[in-house]
A and B are shown apart, each in its own frame.
Chain A
Amino acid sequence: MEVPAIAAAYEVPVSRSLRRRDPRQGTRWGRFVLIGVALAFLAAFVLLPLLVVFAQAFSKGIGVYLAALSEPSAWSAIKLTLTVAAIAVPMNLLFGVVSAWAITKFQFRGKSALVTLIDLPFAVSPVIAGLTYILLFGARGWFGPYLQAHDIRVVFAVPGIVLATIFVTFPFVARELIPVMQAQGKHDEETALSLGAGGWQVFWHVTLPNIRWGLLYGVLLCNARAMGEFGAVSVVSGHIRGLTNTMPLHVEILYNEYNYAAAFAVASLLAFLALLTLAGKSLLEWRQPELKHGTRRARADLEK
């Protein structure tokens, strides 16, 4: 009858140690309160409004919802928003990669000025950004007479909206890439050069694979903002229904006309696009460590 006695003797310290608190965790109450506050805050300020948007959108039934989206001016706003994003995002992708490359791989005068300038759109109110475009390209702006003489419309037309959107969203890709590229240093590129690769080959075969997840992440954020931008676009668009209205502007117009169901229907679509972007982002974050080529296979190999 000695065996159970020994087992019991061993059991006691084990269960005791399990009950012992992890010193890093603090008190249970502290943890509970912190998590609770964070969740409550999130529910009240993010989740609830999101639910309200969808509830309002469908408040008059699915028929009204679909009608609001297929109405010509709504449809044109949707198309314009997608068009603007389709131009602004690739432009900023290019700009972001080029500037991040220049900043992290080269030494040159005015580098810190460039870094500060990239942040400017975050610092300046979008409304002011829009106004500067009016001052530059408007009828009485600097380039106004020239543009009128050549019958080019920038302000109150699609080009102005695209310009304003590019301005507002241009930090996203560069900001995402600079730290990634800084952390990786120049050795990979220098090695590729010493092996005889040309500049384009270095970028395509070495740099791009190293930064692709950061790049995709930046593009997603950039895209979300490009579709959702209101302030700057509102100033330069002129709100011409069916022509220069983006989705956020269309929502505002409908709302001001007390057409709540339609306003929320378009808003819900916008919210849905945002959610889609966020889902894409979390998918990336979730798959990133796995997809860093080979690590998955590495793990499989180690487990063999």
Chain B
Amino acid sequence: MSITLRGVTKQFGEFAAVDDVNLDIPSGALLALLGPSGCGKTTLLRIIAGLETPESGQVLFDGRDATSWPIRDRKVGFVFQNYALFRHMTVFENIAFGLKVKARRERPPAAAIRRKVQSLLELVQLDWAGERYPAQLSGGQKQRVALARALAVDPEVLLLDEPFGALDAQVRHELRRWLRRLHTELHFTSIFVTHDQQEAIEVADTIVVLNRGRIEQTGIPGEVYDLPRSAYVHRFLGQVNELRVEWREGRAYLGPVDISSDPALQPGAGLVALIRPHEIDVVDESAGWRATVRDVRVIGPIVRLELGAEGRPPSEPLEAEISRERFDIGRFHVGQNVGVRFRRWQIYPADAVLVSDAAA
């Protein structure tokens, strides 16, 4: 089922949680709503589910206006961060719930319900757990039960609110891959909310970055990461170094690095360059901006260096990420003098960066 949002706005008192959002979600998409807490992503998800009513705007399901449809008619499966499993029911009863509450003439016979629940249990790899109660399951298992329960009523849209937020890293990684696989197999439209950019990049086909109830950028993961359209998006998707653009005698510099050839420069304006750690090269002392290695962290295949650059306040070190191979060749150590080079940077107005600071 395709979903279209047209001018959707939701106010909580004075506060606009969702502010004039327009979005087209094609059928079969796996979409992430990404943003910090308070950006309106959960409210938007709840509006799609029918758990909140927007003040203005429309929600279209397959082109039909579904804005005032009650939640039970929307064919959406909703999975909460805290799973919301029914504590007093077994796993089996939880999954069967949506089938058992159907009106008598739509309700499948008991044997069919049993078969369906059994197949869902197998799908989520919990066929041994049917008679268990939620209290007896781990977080990851509960999450899979919640998914199976939502899938039992054959939803056309699956909505997930911070689905992996409460799980530890290993389980989260497994569940992400599992969800992707499930999505490819079952072909429904999935929308999930997350504040974790890595999760969004790893799982989604499309990422929608939200800021203060508005959409900042929509795109495929690589695009949003590599071509952020605003400083806010740039900062939110991954680590950045921030350097103020300094003007000397009509030329623009980052530290001692002349960037006057950058077409994005607008003379006179307060500008800031954002540089990701992996866009920094660490070279010989003589070949770049002089800096001192202050810290070295080997993180598996990459190495993170903290660099005190000359002329920059010690409280604002540059962070560089280099490959393990490069590190092994350079043999960098704390206290060593090196040179810093920027492979890539992006220029934004300085106040835009400050605004996103306040929002984060």
Contacts and interface: CB of A to CB of B under 8 A. Distances in A.
Interface of A: 187-188, 190-198, 201, 205-206, 209-210, 292-295, 297-298, 301-302
A192 to B, nearest CB: 7
Q: Which 5 A-B pairs have the closest CB atoms?
A: A294-B133, A195-B98, A187-B84, A293-B88, A197-B101
A195 B90 contact: no
B78 A190 contact: yes
Contacts of A206: 86
15 contacts: A188-B84, A188-B86, A190-B84, A193-B72, A194-B71, A194-B74, A194-B77, A194-B78, A196-B102, A197-B101, A209-B86, A293-B89, A295-B133, A297-B133, A298-B133
Main secondary structure of the interface of B (DSSP, over half): loop
Contacts, number: 86
Contacts of A295: 133, 135
B76 interface: yes
Contacts of A294: 87-88, 90, 132-136
Interface string B285-313: 00000000000000000000000000000
Contacts of B134: 294
B80 interface: yes
A191 B133 contact: no
A196 B87 contact: no
A210 B101 CA distance: 18
Contacts of A190: 51, 71, 78, 80, 84
A193 B80 CA distance: 13
Contacts of A198: 72, 101
A195 B150 CA distance: 7
Nearest to B152: A195
Residue from A195, A205, A301 having most chain B Cβ neighbours under 10 A: A195
A301 B88 CA distance: 17
A237 B283 CA distance: 97
A190 B98 CA distance: 12
Given A188-B84, A206-B86, A292-B87, A194 B135 contact: no
Residue of B87, B89, B98 with most partner-chain A CB within 10 A: B87
Given A195-B152, A294-B136, 10 more contacts: A188-B86, A190-B51, A190-B71, A193-B72, A194-B72, A194-B74, A194-B150, A197-B97, A197-B101, A294-B87
B71 A193 contact: yes
